[in-house]
Structure 1
Amino acid sequence: MDNKMGKEIINNYRKYFNEINSGELYEAENTLKSIVKKEEAGEGYLNARRYLGMLYLEMENFDKAISELSMIVKIKEATKKKKFRNLAKECPEGFDKEEEERGHLAWVYHDLGMAYLGKADCEMAEKYLLKAYDISKDKKNIFRNDLGWLYYKWNKPEEAIEKFKASVNQGDNSGFPHFYLGLAEIKAGRLVSAKEWLNEAISIFDTNAHDPYDKSKRIFYELMKASALNNLGRIEMDNGEYRKSKRLFLEGLAICERQECQEYIKGLSPRRKTKESITIAALHNNLGLLHYKQGFLDEAEKEYIAALKFEELPETYNNLAVVYHEKGVKEKAESYLKNALRLDSQTEVARANLNRLVGGGANWWDWWFKP
């Protein structure tokens, strides 16, 4: 590749980096597409296609992410040649060494797995996440943790627990495996152990959230703490500790509602923004469920409606249906149950509730969403 073409490509990478930092994702997409054409016409580097796959993953366009990343795998497996340029060296103001490592094939397999997980294709996700783990030389804990998350989403809590415990034993002190161990233990029905892991995660998140030099890192860990507080509060509520659970839910909401946290969330990619929106919605939903358990229907309704403003969750619609049924508004109850099934046709409790409602069952509201 001649020097003029090389400089033009690096300048385009700088343009892409600025667009990403400004949240201009569609502009970044077009910039990367132009780099792909230039790189493949020259020495065949795959960096731009790699970043395009990452971008589509963050935009939750999983089909396009799979298409771009699969093309890289096909090329690499066919040529066996190194096809990633050293952007950390050529464009250090945009790409540091850690970011450049994401060009390695292990990360391509990893993101392919995460894209398939986004499509709920757990078998394909496992195939590529295992490949990523097998060929990676470092960052083993990251790949192992994401395998654990796959097994958690796949409703295989014991396999998830095995992965997360391995990361803890290998020195992962980020708090992530501790947090996800808590979630997996909840799914496995071991609430005492779940509380221990969640409390340990909160302690680690608190430590990481006191970094005075990195505001983004601090807010990130504060939001992780809010998610842990939500799950801890749910355990306390199911144990009948209503005062403890209310305090935990309100503490989590107070974190999420702070102005700097809201501004941080606004600047996230669609995929990461969805994650935080789900946390806030779950906090409102669980606070509503707490009010319902205490007999405060109006307060419960208010919290459920607040939850839906952040993210539509099937359990929130189901819980709203419970409230409207008790208020005698059958039409709204039926509508909300249908919305729950629209979001997730496998929400068995909503389907059972709808059958009871339509069939005139007397005690269907006892079947509200349970963990």
Structure 2
Amino acid sequence: MTSRLRRIPMVLGVVLLLSGCTPSFQSGEPARAQLLDPELQQNSKAAYHMLLSFLMSKEGKRGEALGEMRKAVEADPDSAYLRLLLAQQLAQNGSLEEALDEAQKAVALAPGNVQGWMLLSELQLSKGLTDEAMENYRRVLQSDSGNLEAALRLVNLLRGRSQYNEAVEILEKTAAARPKDPLGPYYLAKLREEMKDLEGAALWFRKALAINPSFTTAYLELAALYEGAKRWEEASGVYKELLEVEPGNQRAMARLGQLLIMQDRFQEASVFFEKLKQLHPANSEIRLKVGLLYLELKRYKEAIEEFQANLNQGMKVDQNRFYLGIALEEAGETARAMEEFQRIAQTSDLYPEAVVHLAGILEKKGDLEGAISAVQKAREALPAEELLVRYLARLYTKSKQFKEAIELLQNALEQDPDNAKLHFALGVAYDKAGDTASTIRQMEEVIRLEPENADALNYLGYTLAVQRIRLEEAEQYIRRALQKRPNDGYIIDSLGWVFFQQGRLEQAIQELERAVELVPADPIILEHLGDALLQRGDRERTIELYKKSLELDSEERTEAQKELLKEKLRKLLEGEK
């Protein structure tokens, strides 16, 4: 059921200066911090025109404002301050060439004016003079290594050229010059992350947090870094740290809950999503997530309440109705479950799955004919739907209508010849019909289409083992399947059975014992272990395993196979007498 647990969309909302964008000029009037420049106190005419320019700009009269600023510069041509103001207004009016000229004159008049060099660099970038702009940012940093704005702008340009070593060196110097500012380490972390240096990025995020333990964005970015590396435990730990600092952080709750779901830790995950539901009781996405968690935890009554609440609000009707049907089915309320599945529209993406669940209920009730009829009716509307084709073929096979199952799948494959799922289903149908050679061919075709398909690898390997043919090849297929699913009891059973057929008895028993530990209630695995132990001479345990196997039912075992097992058990019991 874990696949039902879909992610809740969240927006981080972090604006990074390391975005690689060319700096843009901001509209509006210039900053007033330098309004009473000492130079202007000696030149009342220049000050008059400057103030008039400010007033015009405030009223939105940009043309008149620019004219007054030109007069101010004419009145005091040696004022770097006025030339910078003029350059800003020219840039805002789109006169970039003239603005660049004024900025150059300003820095020539006042070489120590950092803002002048910064404005000049921005104008140079707007004209495509990247090398010149970079040199000017370097000039600013030589005189002020702690200038974060200059550092970030230069780093942006270096990133564009993949000159990461210099970018790192610049940010490290900036961070050292600002020991109490977490932004230097933070941007170093982002740069290291871009360089695929996960450990380096994590180290600098930690340094940022050491300076400011309440730096929410750094926690979130560090956790996301670990998530990207699939280091779920470390990511979870970071989210927990953030929640200690900021208990109400909903982003951390949602992500931590999702990580716990990915680790199948549903009980822990439910705690965080229940808190989110308390904060947002009308949020249908959160209620859906809570309902799915309750479904995983077998808290069916509560799951039903969540899905029903969403339905009452008219939220995501088909989705909530589908999961409501599953919850009702699991809770044993099959009549209500069938009603919900039947109410899902044919146009819904969930309609085929709903039909399969409906047919599954009928099948469990012993109404195999009704199950077949329900799927056939659905196929009238969706004749090419693969899920319905495969499920109907399975029902035909179960009712021993092998010809119908095989023809159905062959017809589907004519329309979709490279569909591995259909080939697999056809292989199973051939197997149930007793056509082993065709089963082997179909499974080989699945593996050709999907070389890592663990189910097909295991099915083919086990089939070869049962037939006692190509046993070395069978072992290789099964080992490949185990690489994909190393703790799958059924695949481990197949490996044990290959060993048994090869005469490697102790290895067979070792693998079959492990398979029984993983799947203790599978009758075929129990019988396999009994066969191996009998060959070793452990009659008492074999009798116990055969009896337990016969007590369990399995679709995988034919009546003839059951009778054969009964005969084996009878002979053992008679031997005891």
State the TM-score, normalized to the length of structure 1.
0.66
Partner Cα distance (1:235, 1:13) in 2 = 45
CA contact (8 A) 1:230 1:249 kept: yes
CA drift at 1:342: 1.6
CA drift at 1:340: 0.4
CA drift at 1:35: 4.2
Taking a change above 3 Å as real, the CA distance of residues 248 and 73 of structure 1, as seen in their structure-2 partners, is: closer
Note if 1:150 corresponds to 2:150: no
CA drift at 1:36: 2.0
User: Structure 1 stretch 140-149 or stretch 352-361: which is displaced more?
Assistant: 352-361
Note if 1:140 corresponds to 2:385: yes
Deviation string, structure 1 residues 90-120 (Cα, Å, up to 9, x no partner)? xxxxxxxx9x431x4x653332112334566
Taking a change above 3 Å as real, the CA distance of residues 341 and 24 of structure 1, as seen in their structure-2 partners, is: closer
Tell me the residue number matched to 2:473.
244
Counterpart of 1:327 in structure 2: which amino acid? R
Tell me the residue number matched to 2:535.
326
Greater fraction helix? 1
Taking a change above 3 Å as real, the CA distance of residues 236 and 325 of structure 1, as seen in their structure-2 partners, is: closer
CA drift at 1:27: 6.1
CA drift at 1:245: 0.9
Partner Cα distance (1:204, 1:21) in 2 = 35
Tell me the residue number matched to 1:122.
368
Partner Cα distance (1:303, 1:353) in 2 = 22
Specify which of 66, 70, 73 is matched with residue 338 of structure 2.
70
SS at match of 2:349: helix
Taking a change above 3 Å as real, the CA distance of residues 360 and 120 of structure 1, as seen in their structure-2 partners, is: farther
CA contact (8 A) 1:161 1:185 kept: yes
Tell me the residue number matched to 2:287.
15
Taking a change above 3 Å as real, the CA distance of residues 131 and 54 of structure 1, as seen in their structure-2 partners, is: farther
Partner Cα distance (1:338, 1:309) in 2 = 17
Tell me the residue number matched to 1:267.
none
CA drift at 1:320: 1.7
Partner Cα distance (1:125, 1:355) in 2 = 37
CA contact (8 A) 1:282 1:307 kept: yes
SS at match of 2:416: coil
Note if 1:349 corresponds to 2:558: no
Partner Cα distance (1:326, 1:307) in 2 = 18
Counterpart of 1:167 in structure 2: which amino acid? A
Tell me the residue number matched to 1:255.
484
State the TM-score, normalized to the length of structure 2.
0.44
Specify which of 419, 436, 441 is matched with residue 174 of structure 1.
419
Tell me the residue number matched to 2:524.
315
CA drift at 1:256: 0.7
Matches within 5 A, 1:1-371: 11-17=283-289, 20=292, 24-26=296-298, 30-36=302-308, 39=311, 48-55=320-327, 61=330, 63-64=332-333, 66-72=334-340, 100-102=348-350, 104=351, 107-117=353-363, 121-134=367-380, 136-137=381-382, 140-171=385-416, 173-206=418-451, 222=452, 225-237=453-465, 238-257=467-486, 280-311=488-519, 312-344=521-553, 347-360=562-575
Gaps of 5+ in 1: 1-7, 77-82, 85-97, 207-221, 263-279, 362-371
Counterpart of 1:284 in structure 2: which amino acid? I
Partner Cα distance (1:117, 1:55) in 2 = 18
% identical equivalent positions: 22
Partner Cα distance (1:330, 1:282) in 2 = 24
Deviation string, structure 1 residues 56-89 (Cα, Å, up to 9, x no partner)? 66xxx3843x333322367x5xxxxxx86xxxxx
Partner Cα distance (2:429, 2:495) in 1 = 22
CA drift at 1:46: 6.9
CA contact (8 A) 2:303 2:327 kept: no
Partner Cα distance (1:354, 1:174) in 2 = 43
CA contact (8 A) 1:12 1:31 kept: no
CA contact (8 A) 1:164 1:181 kept: yes
Partner Cα distance (1:62, 1:116) in 2 = 16
Taking a change above 3 Å as real, the CA distance of residues 177 and 165 of structure 1, as seen in their structure-2 partners, is: same
- What is the total number of aligned residue pairs between the two structures? 288
The structure, 1 or 2, with the larger RCO (C-alpha pairs under 8 Å, 6+ apart) is 1
Partner Cα distance (1:62, 1:348) in 2 = 35
SS at match of 1:360: helix
Partner Cα distance (1:326, 1:359) in 2 = 17
CA drift at 1:33: 2.1
Counterpart of 1:315 in structure 2: which amino acid? I
Tell me the residue number matched to 1:275.
none
